[in-house]
Amino acid sequence: MRIAEHTGNQPLEVKVCPSGYPGIVFQLAADRTAAIESIAIRSAASSDVPVLFLHGQGSEPSVMRFRGAPYTTIQVVFKPHALYTLFGWDASEYCQGLLSAAQFAAVKLENQLMSASSTDERVSLLVSFLEEKGKQANKRDELIEQSLDYIKEHIPSVSVNDLIKALHISERQFQKRFTRVVGIPPHLFIRVRRVNEALRMMHSGQYERLSDVAYALNYYDQSHFIRDMKSFSWVSPKHIAMKVSEFHNDLAGSSYL
């Protein structure tokens, strides 16, 4: 869970790299309206952002523009398979999308969050809502969950072929099931997660050169590494290296001003 409180009155523009994880966001300005003015990706933009919304898998970097007002945001990061497991949805139908409270049966929760008097109370409400969803959940694809664990443990070198061999499943079946449960195809999910790992490694300060990061993550060559970094973070690795101290990096992904 990521909680942010902004006390200034200057508009902010936050660039966000996709993490491959869905989640729920509650965002409220001091005047009790939505703090986020708009969210844009390369292929679309939304200027009517709900105070409470659920977002699907992201595979494009986004820009969130915040109004010039104090605000609080609470973001709950789900596991990659959560839309399928918790809500019983085909996650591929919600890739890059935003759902309002009414669209995921959370109008009561939204009203409670708006009425709450503290951030701690709001966190408790969100946790209770998700715990109840967890009790009702009756859909699981354990093979895909295993594949996600495998990807996490072997992110520097994992490939779709590795997963197929390890899980003893046909490529066609694996692609279909993974996309339904996670929301995006496995090769794209691996690319997104590998870029997130690259950003984490760069932020750690343990690597002197970008080529060292590329080598540690088994990129075929420097140009392949640069292409993926540009695809998922708006900027080139060189510029990221210059701004790396400004990055915020956690499970929700990487973001910078």
We report the CATH number of the domain holding residue 88 as 2.60.120
Query: E-assigned strands of the chain?
Result: 2-6, 12-16, 23-29, 36-41, 45-46, 52-55, 62-66, 71-77, 98-100, 248-250, 253-256
> For residue range 45-96, what is the model confidence (pLDDT) as tens digits?
888 899 999 999 888 899 999 999 999 999 999 999 999 999 999 999 998 7
Task: Establish if 154 belongs to a structural domain.
Answer: no
- CA dist 14 to 54, 110, 185, 237, 247, Å? 18, 24, 27, 18, 10
Task: Establish if 227 belongs to a structural domain.
Answer: no
Nearest Cα neighbor of 183 from 245, 141, 134 is 141
Task: Establish if 149 belongs to a structural domain.
Answer: no
CA distance 34 to 40: 16
This prediction has a pTM of 0.91
Sign of the Cα torsion 216, 219, 221, 225 reads negative
Task: Establish if 185 belongs to a structural domain.
Answer: no
Do the Cβ atoms of 77 and 1 come closer than 8 Å? yes
Q: What is the pLDDT of residue 210?
A: 83
Task: Establish if 231 belongs to a structural domain.
Answer: no
Structural domain total, the chain? 1
Task: Establish if 198 belongs to a structural domain.
Answer: no
> For residue range 178-222, what is the model confidence (pLDDT) as tens digits?
999 999 999 999 999 999 998 888 877 788 788 899 999 999 888
Question: Is residue 233's pLDDT more than 70?
Answer: yes
Question: Is residue 229's pLDDT more than 80?
Answer: yes
Task: Establish if 109 belongs to a structural domain.
Answer: yes
